[in-house]
Amino acid sequence: GIFVLGLPYALLHSGYSGLILIILAAALCCYTGKILIACLYEENEDGQLIRVRDTYEDIANACCKKLSPKLGGIVVNVTQVMELMMTCILYLVVSGNLLSHSFPYVPVTEKTWSVIAFVTLLPCVFIKTLKIVSKLSQLCSLVHFIIILVVMTYCLTQIHQWSWAKFRLSIEFEDFLVSVGVIIFSYTSQIFLPTLEGNMKNPGEFRCMLNRTHFFACVLKTTFALTAFLTWGEETKEVITDNLPSFLQTLVNLCLLTKALLSYPLPFFAATEIVYAFISKGSHSNYKSPLFALGVRGSFLLFTLLMAMFIPHFALLMGLTGSVTGAAMTFLLPSLFHLKLKWKKLSLLDKCVDISVFILGFLCSLSGIICSIKGLLEVFG
């Protein structure tokens, strides 16, 4: 995701520990992805694993059924929709920002550019299956590799300026927390995993797929962050593409715009499917009509545009939401659900690992909330 472009800046504030964090975050997110999917399965009388749950909501309901049959599902759905909604809004805001920077001489405001980007996303209301989303995501990955390639190629031309002395040994605690947030949330994908695993032709290959994707993501992110930081050192900016010469910036900005627009359908599809499924659970037949589904998608699309245009101090609010929902969906809930549903079958080591992940997620969430609220208080005076 777009968070990857902030990894060199994260290294600026975390030094050598940042390299360890990139590797550790990959391992932890891969692990929580596996235990989350494990919660979808139960053993039958013959000892075979059978998929008895389909969604994150089903897992939550199974854990909270003694308190309330639907309480867990409601909490998870609200959390998921909040994070997905904020992600969609972010892509619209980023699109408007990139367009205004790519065409500075055009007398159009950033909000107007966001509306123009919104128009290109209108076909999203007709997306009905994950197959279409997956093809768009493939194109998104291709564009992302082009961006990474351009940045790294330029960095390699500056290899004569590289110096390991640029790495910091001492770090500021608050700056370090910012780095932790950027690194961890560049790996998060737990929201999509139950749907993804359920749509695979061979779900038995899921664990292998998760291992390989996280391994290659870790290698790519480490290499990218390291080469970029060694090139610019203390001058490294929050979004590394801002460090590029002007003749490359326009090209990369247009690539980033394409990536943002291609990234939008995945969280949009996931969020609207959750909302539509929740509403259509009623017996009223009108709620299950194709026209009603179209209305849900259209309303959600319009809502993200309005929020992108009018929400104040978006970056800080996104950080606050991410600290609450991102840590919860990635670390807190998977480890908690796994302990609840599999407690009798887990070894002592597995229990210790799950508890450690839960504590780590809680600390990341708490520290992120404190930093975000502090930033909001400073902005509002």
CA distance 62 to 42: 12
pLDDT for 319 equals: 61
Average pLDDT (92-106) is: 83
Cross-strand pairs, 49:
43
CA distance 61 to 93: 35
pLDDT for 26 equals: 93
pLDDT score of 312 more than 60: no
Angle (CA) 162-235-113 rounded to 5° is 125
Low-confidence winner among 237-241, 291-295, 315-319 (lowest mean pLDDT): 315-319
* Residue spans of alpha helices (H) in 55-109: 56-63, 71-102
pLDDT score of 92 more than 90: no
pLDDT score of 284 more than 60: no
User: Helix (H, G, I), strand (E, B), or coil: what is residue 309?
Assistant: helix
pLDDT for 365 equals: 78
pLDDT score of 187 more than 70: yes
CA distance 249 to 295: 39
pLDDT score of 356 more than 60: yes
Share of the chain above pLDDT 70, in %: 91
CA distance 40 to 48: 13
Average pLDDT, the chain: 84
Average pLDDT (364-377) is: 75
Average pLDDT (39-46) is: 88
Question: What is the CB neighbour count within 10 angstroms for residue 184?
Answer: 26
pLDDT score of 306 more than 60: yes
pLDDT for 318 equals: 62
CA distance 94 to 259: 10
pLDDT score of 374 more than 80: no
Average pLDDT (96-112) is: 83
What's this model's pTM, rounded to 2 decimal places?
Answer: 0.81
pLDDT for 315 equals: 56
Cross-strand pairs, 50:
42
pLDDT score of 282 more than 70: no
What are the structure tokens assigned to 215, written together? 């391994």
Instruction: Give the residue carrying structure tokens 């179209």.
Output: 294
pLDDT for 95 equals: 85
pLDDT score of 237 more than 80: yes
pLDDT score of 317 more than 70: no
Please, what is the angle between helix 16-38 and helix 206-232, to 10°? 160
Cross-strand pairs, 280:
none
pLDDT, tens digit, 9 for 90 and up, residues 328-338: 888 899 999 99
pLDDT score of 88 more than 80: yes
What are the structure tokens assigned to 13, written together? 């504030």
Average pLDDT (320-330) is: 75
Secondary structure E strands in the chain? 41-43, 49-51
* List of residues 6+ apart from 181 with CB closer than 8 A: 319, 322, 323, 364, 368, 371
Label residue 91 by pLDDT band (50, 70, 90): confident
pLDDT score of 254 more than 60: yes
Domains of the chain: 3-380 (1.20.1740.10)
Cross-strand pairs, 41:
51
Q: CA–CA distance from 231 to each of 113, 150, 237, 282 (Å)?
A: 32, 14, 12, 58
Instruction: Give the residue carrying structure tokens 């908690």.
Output: 336
pLDDT score of 11 more than 60: yes
pLDDT, tens digit, 9 for 90 and up, residues 136-168: 888 988 898 888 889 999 999 999 888 877 777
- Find out whether 188 and 329 touch, Cβ atoms under 8 Å: yes
- Find out whether 228 and 8 touch, Cβ atoms under 8 Å: yes
Please, what is the angle between helix 314-321 and helix 71-102, to 10°? 150
